[in-house]
Amino acid sequence: MFLWFFISMAAHKVALVTGGGSGIGKAIALRLAQNGAKVAIASRNLARVERAAEEFRNRGLAALALPIDVTQKTDVERVITTIVSQWGALHILVNNAGISGLSMIDDPDDSKWFDIVETNLNGLFLVTKAVLRHMPEQAGGRVINISSVLGKFGVPGYTAYCTTKHGMIGFTRALALEVVGRGITVNTICPGWVDTEMATLGIKETAVLQGMTPEEFKAQAIAAVPIQRFLEANEVAELVAYIASDAASGSTGQAINLCGGQTIVPSVSTHRIKNIIVSAHTIIVRNPATLETVAELPVAQATDVAAAVGRARVAQAAWQTTSFTERAGLLYRLRDLLLDEGDRLADLLTAETGRPRAEVYGNELFYLCDAIGSWAKRSADYLQPEKIRPHFPLLKTKKVVSAYAPRGVIGIISAWNFPLTITLGEALPALMAGNSVVIKPSELTPLSAIFGADIALRAGFPENLVQVVVGYGATGDALVDHADMIAFTGSVETGKQVMRRAADRLIPVSLELGGKDPMVVLKDADLDRAVGACVWGALMNCGQICTSIERVYVEAPIYEQFVDKVVKRVRAIRQGQSRDEVDVGSMTSEAQLKKVAAQVDEAVANGAKALTGGRRNPSLAGYYYEPTVLVDVNHSMAVMSEETFGPVIPIIKVDDVDEALRLANDSRYGLSGSIFSRDKAAAWRLADGLQCGSVSINDSLVSFIVADAPMGGCKDSGFGYRHGAEGIRKFCQQKTVVIDRFGLKEEFPWYPATEKKAKQIRHLLNLLCHSGLSHKWRALRGLMRS
């Protein structure tokens, strides 16, 4: 009763609450109005404050809704003038307007920094200055600023926000001294986590950053608060109501924490968030199908990468001592989690790649489930020490074993087209071989790698065994500078740069580079199957696959029929956003779309015909290029000689198998190819002649997803293998151990070296190695005499 008496003295006072349309601001405005104050609710969002004011008035409370941009002096003056002209004065000011956002100090774009500072500090100054001119002296004037506990300790990536909230505390203390003689108090409240709409959005954004669900991140945040819950907005409002009352006249210049004890818990500000290293600039991840921003991630610098590799090295030392059975058990747990979270994974991959959900389930998830099973079952056999029987008789006294030891820290630099398949596809065998991995995903699609690292941790893999460093080329360079091996998937040009940099340290590399894969359709082929395989093999993932069909050679007798069927099938393809029932989604980047368009335009300008497609899809807003069929093309055109990586099917008529083989091999690439024929023997002969790492007969794209067979390329498509025994052995240092079997005191070749011993060795070599019987006989007699 005593406290209520003093708080109720807000009656007949006039209050202004900026940022009052929702959340904390609305709760404060409501509490002051309930205590009898006339409350002006101001915000950039006029609709929100009008709804709030109407709600207040319906409850019999005095409220006024006003639009305001606190960064504009004229706007501020207009609002203050309106309030004073209507209600006569201003007694209480609550500065709640503010914005947040990720803003690294080294970000080349300064706009976000200035926006945050402009709103949170300059806006604070402009509104407070204008209000103080109308705040009566010795009348219990109150200025209450809503800061944050982040104004008292830093959080990486939020330098601008933390700076402004700390600056607000300094502003409060200095201003309190300036106006104390006028009977005006100035205080700041520093809330921690408050359960508001803004907090929910922040949780979602940070959860993406950490590779967690919003529920998981919220649970983690609550666990860090001693009272084990978030505050409610009305709890902040109650404290503001007290500070606004006459009962709080003795409090000024204070920064009061309201955080559930959060600030009394020791806190370490770090540049590492779970398995993600953060620093410096930021990367904006956009949905290529909608162009909406999906996430903003900090970029790892060279020092962050070095630290990640250092942690990975420590984790690997313990990991290499585990058994294959233990490792396989964790892989199976990882597979279960992938299946349990299939919908979340599909949402994530469609958001960052623009692909249809059916593709995610039918390709990425299908492949990973198979690959996990293969590596879990077969890794031990692939890496079983091999007993070697020396063929030379004199070495039969030795026992020889070839074993496989982990290399250490594997750096995985992956591409954007299959961001989870490519990344985990290399990480799984590396881990089964006893290595740790540090992953540098493409800057276009980093979220799925973060998801993969997080789910590996939740599956039970040791901390720091799987880490992610997000960044551009410099981040990849730093990984090459510190890892023990690099597994790279990407363009030919970047692959060459990786190899040159790795050569300076003499570390091994595996390069899976571009492709320009041919499809040869012989006249006896099952035409319908060939057409279906062609369209799927060329357009799946919008053609953005290194093993996509990018060149089609069809024997003359069936050429016209084949083309007609392909065009009909392509025209029936449904293109659109992943949430719709579509066959083909968007391309992943504007740059890749422009590259595809340039190749098609150049071909058409030089005589090719686009029978369907041939342009950017005008009815869709994202990076959509229409599935395209080209004829009358030749090898002088870029679309037939350079990797396209897009939804384009160029078809050439050939006279016979020999011409098809010659044209198929007329490429600097050699990744894979496909052949269609009912004559299996003829198909085998053609497969032998194709210059590539893998061939599919009467099928397409399947060579990539067979996790038990090696898959790699030749020529400019790189070297090193994915899958099979070679796919895991590349992550190992082969070690040969030779053991003496009999324990003789001396070996014949040992010192001292004598003329007699030299003659004996010569006779022995002739006896054992010379093919002539007379030489063997003379050698035997020589040995007997010596």
Active-site annotation, residues:
512, 546
Contact predicate 549/703, CB 8 Å: no
Cα separation, 20 vs 601, whole angstroms: 54
H-run or E-run covering 23:
helix 23-34
Residue labelled with tokens 């991140």: 217
CA distances from 589 to 452, 473, 544 (A): 22, 17, 11
Residues 6+ apart with CB under 8 A from 553: 518, 519, 520, 521, 651, 652, 654, 659, 660, 663, 664
Residue-by-residue DSSP string for 103-146: B-TT-S--HHHHHHHIIIIIHHHHHHHHHHTTS-TTS--EEEEE
**Residue 441: count of CB within 10 angstroms of its CB:** 29
Of the candidates 150, 128, 151, 153, which has an alpha carbon nearest to the alpha carbon of residue 141? 128
- Neighbouring-strand partners of residue 392: none
CA distances from 459 to 12, 214, 338, 438, 644 (A): 61, 19, 10, 17, 38
Sheet of 485-489, strand order:
272-273, 276-277, 466-469, 436-440, 409-413, 485-489, 509-512, 718-719
Cα separation, 159 vs 161, whole angstroms: 6
Query: What sign does the dihedral 275-281-286-292 (CA atoms) show?
Result: positive
Copy the structure tokens of residue 177.
């001294």
Query: What sign does the dihedral 364-367-370-373 (CA atoms) show?
Result: negative
Residue-by-residue DSSP string for 354-398: ---HHHIIIIIIHHHHHHHHHHHHHHHHHTPPEEE--SSGGGTTE
Cα separation, 37 vs 372, whole angstroms: 65
Contact predicate 346/362, CB 8 Å: no
Residues 6+ apart with CB under 8 A from 731: 406, 407, 410, 429, 430, 433, 435, 485, 487
Cα separation, 63 vs 348, whole angstroms: 44
Beta strands in 19-68 (DSSP E): 38-43, 63-67
Cα 467 to chain centroid, rounded: 11
Of the candidates 449, 404, 437, 183, which has an alpha carbon nearest to the alpha carbon of residue 311? 437
Residue-by-residue DSSP string for 431-474: HHTT-EEEEE--TTS-HHHHHHHHHHHHHTPPTTSEEEE--SHH
Residues 6+ apart with CB under 8 A from 652: 551, 552, 553, 554, 633, 634, 640, 663
Read off the amino acid at residue 145.
N
Of the candidates 698, 729, 333, which has an alpha carbon nearest to the alpha carbon of residue 510? 729
**Residue 294: count of CB within 10 angstroms of its CB:** 18
Cα separation, 131 vs 79, whole angstroms: 10
Copy the structure tokens of residue 639.
């679309």
Contact predicate 126/71, CB 8 Å: yes
